[in-house]
Amino acid sequence: MSLPERLQRENAYLQHLRIGGCHSIAFIFKNQLPSSLKRLEVKNCEKLQYLFHDGEATRASLPSSSPTMHSESISNSSLSFLEHLYVSQCSSLTCLSSRVELLAVLKHIEISGCPKLVALLSSGQLPETLQHLNVVDCPKLVSIAESFHSKMSLEYIKIWRCKKLKLIPGNLNSLSCLRDIYLWDCPSLVSFPEGGLPDTNLKLFSIDKCRQLKALPQHMHRLNFLRELELRQCPSITSIEEEGLPTSLASLSIADVSIYRPLIEWGLHKLTSLKTLEIRGCVYAESFPQEETGMEAPDQTLKCNLSTMKSQWAAYRTQASLARVSPKNNEEDAAGYDPPLYLFDYNTGQSFLEHLQVSECPSLTCLSSRVELLAVLKHHNVSERPKLVTLSSSGQLPQTLQHLKVFNCPKLELIAESFHSNMSLEYIMIWRCEELKLLPGNLNSLSCLRDICIWDCPSLISFPEGGLPHTNLRFFSLDKCRELKALPEHMHKLNSLEELKLGECASITSMEKEGLPTSLTSLSIADLGFYRPLIEWGLHKLTSLKTLEIKGCVYAESFPQDYTGLVLPTSLTRLTIIGFPRLKYLSSMDLQNLEYLSIIDCPALTSLPESSLPPSLVQLLMADSSKIEGGKNKVDDSKKSEECWERFDGKK
């Protein structure tokens, strides 16, 4: 197979060409392509060995059977307009071109998935016009270029998964336009060129998994425009220059490298502009910052992220607007060592910390003994901490806190003794805290609270006196709180509440006579003991209700149940019935606005008369109600309904 010989002649103005899946092409000659071409994409050409061969000698040396892109002899000294070149998944490609002048105005090169690529250009040079260079998954790449031109416009370099690459092109420090450089997973890389990195515009420098790299580039402290530095999994880097790092840094990430202690000895506190700090791989730390090392964190730090594994693995991270503790799994050499761990156990000066996320720290028992150390904290996210007993030993949370999320902390007993009456808390989520029995007092004073979710807290027995705040609360969800005896007080006063979800709280068997707030637009009830009290109060009083889901009514044989006096709100547009194992038929529903009806896991349902379905119905969804006969025809016969019927096996 070959491309048409007239491609160049008959497409004189062609600017974008994509070649894909042409498995018989081995070479592409420069004269084959229109000189007007600006963007060329070549993908999945498995026999392609070279791009842009040009000489007659080369052509003559090819065997007659070699598939090529033949052309007439057309005068075309270069692809004079080609600016973007993308090559991917060409398993036989070994080189792009023998002559750099063929790509004289090239701006973007992206090469990926070319396992036999050895060099980009056999001339050893890159176009002076090049701005973006991206090379990924080229495991045999040995040479990018001999050196960079001093006048190059290169702004972005990313080299990733190039296993054989040992050297970066020389003259790197002359690239005055360079802003970002990424070198990831190049395990054979041993050093940077003399002179280091350019100090004029470089904003981001990232190194990861360069295990043979012995040292950072020279003169790092001179990079006065560098804002973000990432050093990860480079164990051979064991020291830094005496002058240290540039004080312009706003973000620093250090992961599993050996320069942690030299960096501390130099003095992290000298990075006075630092907003984001991440440290991973401090295997023996029992607290952070470590007072015994003399480590001082920068005063301007805004965010903190700490993660400690049972294998004595720790990470600390701070970021410009949020601080998180991200778990990084490392299960080696646990050796049964499980030290106590505390965050902020003395005054670290973290006065700007706003976001804190801590996860998978099996030895952590408390965050801080002093709430003032987290004086401006806004977001607090805690998860996967099996020994955590309390968030703060002082029994208080910061008044500035806006988001509180606690997940999978089975030993947690105390969130706080009480909430401040002037707290800004907007969101509370407590999930899988098996030992938690009480929520903090003064909950009803949280005037900014909008969402509260309490899930899978089987020891929770009651809500604080006064119930929930009734000014801004929009969403309230309870699930699997099996010891909870009652809903919060004064539920009917929650005039802003729109969505209520109550599931698997078997001990709740009654409700206040005033019932639920009439502002509700969505109500979900699952496996509750107060289903009958709710009916007796009167669901029809919820005049704003649009969505109703009822699950786990195990004795009902019809719905609605005439003998219970159940009347559904006429405002309903969506109704879902789940897990009625004895349900045999639907009674007539006077729901003139109902559009969506779902019936799921009702195996005994045998009757679905047309009279039970409102004419407004748009969609009927049924799962595992296999005994229904003729239901589809009855729905299709409803002239006022839009025909939509879906049946599926709910087990799939």
pLDDT greater than 70 at residue 312: no
Q: In sequence order, what DSSP letters do the residues of 183-224 get, joined into one string?
A: EES-TT--BPPTT-S-SSS--EEEEES-TT--SPPTTGGG-T
Percent of the chain surpassing pLDDT 90: 40
Please give the pLDDT value at position 350.
Answer: 45
Please give the pLDDT value at position 73.
Answer: 28
**Residue 257 and residue 231 in contact, taking contact as beta carbons nearer than 8 Å:** yes
| Confidence band of 327 (pLDDT split at 50, 70, 90) | very low
> What tens digit of pLDDT does each residue of 613-652 get?
888 888 888 876 555 544 433 333 333 233 322 322 333 3
**Residue 511 and residue 536 in contact, taking contact as beta carbons nearer than 8 Å:** no
Please give the pLDDT value at position 372.
Answer: 55
- Of 557 and 33, the structure prediction assigns the larger pLDDT to 557
**Residue 25 and residue 68 in contact, taking contact as beta carbons nearer than 8 Å:** yes
Please give the pLDDT value at position 11.
Answer: 59
What is the C-alpha to C-alpha distance for residues 515 and 492, in angstroms, rounded to an integer? 6
> What tens digit of pLDDT does each residue of 218-232 get?
999 999 999 999 999
Measured CA distances, 226 to 148, 276, 439, 522 (Å): 21, 13, 46, 51
Please give the pLDDT value at position 629.
Answer: 47
Average pLDDT, the chain: 77
pLDDT greater than 70 at residue 442: yes
What is the C-alpha to C-alpha distance for residues 19 and 26, in angstroms, rounded to an integer? 13
Rounded mean pLDDT of 1-29? 69
Lookup: tokens for 158: 């990313």
Please classify residue 633 by burial: count the beta carbons closer than 10 Å to its beta carbon, then call 0-12 exposed, 13-18 middle and 19+ buried.
exposed
| Angle at CA of residue 246, ends 245 and 248, nearest 5° | 140
pLDDT greater than 70 at residue 300: no
pLDDT greater than 60 at residue 596: yes
What is the C-alpha to C-alpha distance for residues 6 and 249, in angstroms, rounded to an integer? 55
Residues 6+ apart with CB under 8 A from 141: 117, 118, 119, 120, 135, 162, 164, 165
| Confidence band of 584 (pLDDT split at 50, 70, 90) | confident
pLDDT greater than 60 at residue 208: yes
| Angle at CA of residue 464, ends 459 and 469, nearest 5° | 125
| Confidence band of 80 (pLDDT split at 50, 70, 90) | low
Rounded mean pLDDT of 145-171? 94
Which of these ranges, 19-28, 246-255, 407-416, has the smallest mean pLDDT?
19-28
325-358 exposure pattern, b = at least 16 Cβ within 10 A, e = fewer: bebeebeeeeeeeeeebbbbbeebebebbbbbbb
Please give the pLDDT value at position 19.
Answer: 87
> What tens digit of pLDDT does each residue of 87-123 get?
999 999 988 876 656 677 889 999 999 999 999 887 7
